[in-house]
């Protein structure tokens, strides 16, 4: 895995390797991951501790390690207004952590609301509202000392009651969509006004870096009880009151979110900016025009349309910062379609290879020239994909799969397979319906074109708005679907969510009497995935992840396409310190204007 913008010295590489090895060097049965109590307690965790916790939680990425390579830049002066555009979105429908279901939303809420912990780009997990904490020997009890004298934006003091209130709200599925995140918490007690005590059902590696994390965790992002009661849920959702570096002073749906400096922030040195204006901009051209004209100085939100990146990179006024992204994108092939039918993926691969339905599936996957696709559809940006596990997962990503996968592009073999399946030069193969969202239309045309050119398959693209597409996808009402996933930081996100028979996306609304499974089901894969989930030994876990990922690739659970990169674009007058460059987030508390 490489980063296009950072040259590593051999010393850096050695350090990264050493840190990696050390991070994973612990006994899986040890509830404290070989760290000992002292290391786990604190106001700050040591870098080594954090790396190890992340490793155990399956969250460690090479991007994290790379962070330390870059020295933090000199800071610009404080003050000023930063105008930002949030790409590919028409309105920021909510900033209430209990309702947030998109990365582009918690990118903003992370600047407004605090959690007990927050991790920075250098991977030093810091207490956010927690000043320090201690952990019991069995790793199931955490006691947090809370910061004193912190006030919410509305003046209410922050106390242990707010932690309890947040927990109570988040664990109620009627009020929060993230109740599953806090399911491992057995109990939460208030010791005194500034001390809380968590009891877990079982030791959990991801407790500090994920469950209590202020941005991506969302379940324990501290909300203000008084403000919620006074404003009501919907007003609070637009302009949440928190203890973060910025406060929302104005939010006109679909127009702009205005953040202003929280002068009472607990860290007197932050934030630097006086004001931040965030405009949602759905279309590519206006977005480009806005940043080129200087109307906006930074782009956050959804991934930027690939055709714009080169244009931005060529613009001397703009900085384009690219790292591997935690995503996969795929072309799903319905195994219940008459001409691509596979009713039992449990058979050994050799047997499957003799079935006509499987041959047609495999031919489709093999006929996709991923490099050509990337060049044409993504303007050369991204990594070819052969499974759901993505390069941002660092250790767990297996680059050799690109060579060993059954799906590897091979036109001659694809044509042969298709002919053997009974469709020489596509003769006799029906026209396929390919569903996609309007925003993916252009690149889906490239896929359809390849299938036409390479296998002579006629493909009718149907664009459907996301709500409709999802209904069809869940109901297995499709031939082909262009759909993928983002925000996958852990192998569980890629495997548990997608590749098990019981996965939440695996034909959720299908007619179960007709279809015993959705798009894929393999007993060995199911077992492997469950096992890797519960394995803390990373090398062993990696082995299982790699194996499961390869099986899904070889058996064509889906025709995998590519992994998108994570790209941050800003004006060069914006000083975005590397220590704030957390993948997927746009933390603005250290950002200054030149």
Using CB under 8 A as the binding rule, the residues of this chain from 268 to 287 that contact another protein are 279-286
Taking phi first (over 0 means left), then psi (-120 to 50 degrees means alpha), and beta for anything else, what does residue 34 get? left
- Interface with another protein (CB under 8 A), residue total 76
Neighbours of 424 (CB within 10 A): 14
CB of 83 to another protein, least distance (A): 9
Of 140-148, 260-268, 381-389, 468-476, the segment contacting another protein by CB under 8 A is: 468-476
Give the burial string for 443-477 (b: 16+ CB within 10 Å, else e).
Answer: bbbbbbebbeebbebebebbbbeeeebbebbbebe
**545, 549, 552, 555 alpha-carbon torsion, rounded to 10°:** -110
Q: Identify the helix (H) or strand (E) that includes residue 125.
A: strand 125-127
Q: Restricting to residues 13-72, name those near another protein by CB under 8 A.
A: none
DSSP secondary structure letter of residue 439: G
Letters for 152-191 (x = contact with another protein by CB under 8 A, - = none) are: ---------------------xx--xxxx-----------
For another protein, the closer CB: 132 or 376: 376
DSSP state of 207: I
Closer to another protein by Cβ: residue 32 or 308: 308
- Calpha distance 124→113 (Å, rounded): 19
Q: Are strands 432-436 and 480-485 parallel, antiparallel or unpaired?
A: parallel
Within 474-533, the residues that bind another protein by CB under 8 A are 474, 497, 504-505, 508-509
- Whether residue 478 contacts residue 445, with contact meaning beta carbons closer than 8 Å, is answered with no
Which residues partner with 571 through β-bridges?
318
Identify which of residues 180 and 594 has a Cβ nearer to another protein in the complex.
180
CB of 133 to another protein, least distance (A): 29
Helix (H, G, I), strand (E, B) or coil at 8: coil
Among 294, 399, 422, 430, binds another protein (CB under 8 A): 294
Taking the complex as a whole, the smallest distance from the CB of residue 237 to another protein amounts, in Å, to 2
Is the peptide bond preceding residue 271 cis, with omega within 30 degrees of 0? yes
3-state secondary structure of 403: helix
Closer to another protein at the Cβ: 222 or 459?
Answer: 459
- Binders in 99-158 for another protein, by CB under 8 A: 99, 101
Question: Token pair of 274, please?
Answer: 């006086």
Site string for another protein, 225-254 (x = CB under 8 A): --------xxxxxx-------------xxx
Select the residue interacting with another protein from 14, 191, 202, 460 (CB under 8 A): 460
Burial class of 220 by CB neighbour count within 10 A (0 to 12, 13 to 18, 19+)? buried
- Tokens encoding 458: 């006629």
Q: Which of 127, 237 has the CB closer to another protein?
A: 237
Q: Is 354 in the site for another protein (CB under 8 A)?
A: no
Residue 14 or 460: which CB sits closer to another protein? 460
Window 63 to 102, contacts with another protein (CB under 8 A): 90-96, 99, 101
Residue choice 59, 196, 228, 308 for contact with another protein (CB under 8 A): 308
Q: Among residue numbers 309 through 328, which ones bind another protein (CB under 8 A)? A: 311
Tell me what percent of the chain is helix, strand and coil, each rounded to the nearest 5.
Answer: 35, 20, 45
How far apart are CB 375 and another protein at their closest, in Å?
7
Residue 234 has phi, psi (to 5 degrees) of -75, -40
Q: How far is the CB of 551 from another protein (least distance, A)?
A: 23
Residue with Cβ nearer another protein (75 or 310): 310
Q: Tell me whether residue 173 or residue 428 sits nearer to another protein (CB atom).
A: 173
């Amino acid at each position: 895995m490489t980063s296009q913008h950072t040259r590593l010295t051999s010393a850096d590489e050695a350090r990264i390797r050493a840190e990696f090895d050390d991070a994973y060097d612990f006994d899986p049965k040890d509830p404290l991951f070989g760290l000992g109590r002292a290391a786990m307690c604190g106001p700050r965790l040591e870098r080594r501790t954090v790396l190890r916790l992340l490793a155990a939680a399956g969250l460690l990425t090479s991007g994290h390690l790379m962070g330390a390579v870059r020295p933090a830049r000199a800071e610009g002066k404080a003050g000023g207004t930063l105008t930002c555009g949030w790409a590919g979105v028409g309105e920021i429908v909510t900033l209430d952590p209990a309702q947030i279901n998109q990365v582009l939303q918690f990118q903003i809420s992370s600047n407004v609301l605090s959690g007990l912990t927050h991790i920075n780009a250098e991977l030093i997990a810091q207490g956010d509202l927690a000043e320090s904490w201690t952990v019991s020997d069995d790793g199931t009890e955490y006691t947090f000392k809370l910061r004193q004298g912190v006030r919410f934006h509305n003046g209410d003091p922050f106390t242990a009651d707010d932690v309890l209130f947040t927990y109570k709200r988040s664990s109620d599925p009627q009020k929060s969509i993230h109740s599953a995140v806090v399911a491992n918490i057995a109990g939460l007690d208030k010791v005194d006004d500034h001390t809380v005590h968590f009891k877990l059902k079982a030791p959990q590696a991801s407790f500090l870096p994920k469950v209590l994390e202020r941005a991506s965790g969302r379940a324990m992002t501290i909300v203000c009880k008084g403000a919620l009661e006074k404003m009501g849920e919907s007003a609070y959702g637009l302009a949440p009151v928190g203890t973060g570096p910025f406060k929302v002073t104005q939010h006109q749906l679909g127009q702009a979110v205005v953040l202003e400096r929280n002068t009472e922030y607990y860290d007197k040195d932050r934030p630097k900016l006086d004001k931040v204006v965030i405009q949602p901009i759905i279309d590519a051209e206006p977005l480009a025009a806005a940043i080129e004209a200087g109307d906006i100085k930074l782009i956050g939100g959804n991934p930027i349309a690939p055709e714009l990146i080169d244009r931005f990179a060529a613009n001397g006024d703009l900085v384009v910062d690219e790292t591997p992204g935690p995503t996969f994108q795929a072309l799903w092939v319905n195994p219940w379609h008459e001409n691509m039918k596979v009713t039992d993926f449990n058979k050994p691969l050799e047997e499957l290879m003799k079935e006509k339905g499987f041959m047609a599936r495999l031919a489709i996957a093999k006929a996709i020239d991923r490099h050509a696709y990337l060049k044409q559809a993504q303007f050369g940006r991204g990594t070819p994909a052969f499974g759901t596990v993505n390069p941002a997962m660092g250790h767990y990503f297996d680059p050799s799969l690109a060579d060993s996968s059954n799906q590897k592009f091979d036109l001659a073999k694809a044509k042969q397979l298709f002919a053997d399946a009974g469709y020489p030069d596509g003769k006799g193969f029906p026209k396929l319906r390919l569903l996609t969202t309007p925003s993916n239309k252009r690149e889906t045309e490239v896929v359809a074109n390849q299938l036409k050119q390479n296998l002579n398959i006629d493909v009718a693209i149907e664009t459907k708005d996301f709500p409709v597409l999802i209904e069809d996808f869940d109901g297995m009402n499709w031939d082909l679907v262009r759909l993928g996933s983002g925000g996958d930081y852990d192998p569980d996100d890629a495997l548990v969510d997608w590749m098990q028979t019981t996965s939440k996306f695996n034909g959720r609304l299908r007619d179960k009497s007709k279809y015993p499974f959705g798009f894929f089901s393999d007993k060995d894969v199911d077992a492997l995935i469950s096992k890797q989930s519960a394995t803390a030994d990373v090398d062993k876990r990696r082995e299982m992840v790699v194996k499961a990922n390869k099986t899904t690739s070889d058996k064509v659970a889906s025709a995998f396409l590519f992994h998108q990169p994570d790209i941050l674009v800003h004006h060069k007058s914006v000083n975005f310190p590397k220590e704030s460059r957390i993948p997927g987030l746009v933390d603005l508390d250290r950002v200054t204007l030149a």
